[in-house]
Amino acid sequence: MEKLVQSMDKSKNRVEEIVAIGTSTGGPKTLEVVIRHLPSHYPYPILVVQHMPSGFTKAMADRLNAISSLTVSEAIHGEVLEPGHVYIAPGNHHMQVKRSQAYHYFLQIDGTTPPRGGHRPSVDVLFESLAPLHEVKKTIILLTGMGSDGTAGLRKIKEVSNPNEVTAIGESEESCVVFGMPKAAIEEGLIDLILTKEKIAEYLRAKVSGR
């Protein structure tokens, strides 16, 4: 009930920044570290694409919700983004962010568009949807995972964004279960900070420590 009240209060707030996270192999445990200790007043929505089959993402969202001060849920089509809410892309569905004429941001959940690079949900699809949203800052995070999903989407964001509009973080090799997704973006020079999962959690907390 407390989380519901907080969510209703936050819905009055405008979104100033979006945190977007992409991960695959080893992601669930890493997400626990990153999300678990964020404060209940965290002022930004957090969007997560975890490569996972349909049916498993809801259980992961419920588990994260149980250990977090934030509200964590499997994303629903048409849902308006709220500060302090973590949205998990449903398995076998792409997730994108769209902007209304009133500058509200809402989720488009799509289970019909083909997989991108073998993935649905695709990190690239989420990241590319953020590229046109120049009025909001973006923290883009690539965590442990096999392959290179997320690199093309991050490249698109960087190509069209001012330097102060986006910060890209890659999980360090020693911290990853599989150093694939962060490595691909690092090798292209797209990553601004390389941090362990613990340091990523600290970074996200420090951004709002004075609020």
pLDDT attached to residue 211: 55
pLDDT attached to residue 210: 60
**CB environment 138-162: b (16+ within 10 A), e (fewer):** bbbbbbbbebbbbbbbbbbbbeebe
Question: Measuring CA to CA, which residue among 142, 155, 134 is closest to residue 200?
Answer: 142
- Calpha distance 191→209 (Å, rounded): 23
96: amino acid identity, one letter: Q
Q: What average pLDDT does the chain have?
A: 94
* Residues contacting residue 187 through CB under 8 Å, at least 6 positions apart: none
Beta-strand pair 85-88/46-50: parallel
Question: Measuring CA to CA, which residue among 14, 7, 95, 11 is closest to residue 48?
Answer: 95
pLDDT attached to residue 36: 95
8 Å CB contact between 87 and 46? yes
pLDDT attached to residue 154: 99
Strands (E), the chain: 17-23, 46-50, 71-74, 85-88, 94-99, 105-110, 137-142, 166-171, 193-195
| E strand or H helix that includes residue 4 | helix 2-10
Global pTM? Answer: 0.93
pLDDT band at 189 (very low <50, low <70, confident <90, very high): very high
- Could you list the active site residues? 24, 51, 149
Average pLDDT score over residue span 68-84: 97
Domain 15-206 sits in CATH at 3.40.50.180
pLDDT band at 13 (very low <50, low <70, confident <90, very high): low
Alpha-carbon separation of residue 73 from 60, 90, 99, 160 (angstroms): 9, 10, 21, 30
More confident residue, 10 or 36: 36
Average pLDDT score over residue span 171-190: 99
In the chain, where the domains are located: 15-206
| Residues linked to residue 179 through DSSP beta bridges, in sequence order | 145
**Model confidence pLDDT, tens digit, residues 163-180:** 999 999 999 999 999 999
- Whether the per-residue pLDDT at 148 is higher than 60: the answer is yes
- Whether the per-residue pLDDT at 157 is higher than 90: the answer is yes
Average pLDDT score over residue span 106-129: 98
pLDDT attached to residue 10: 44
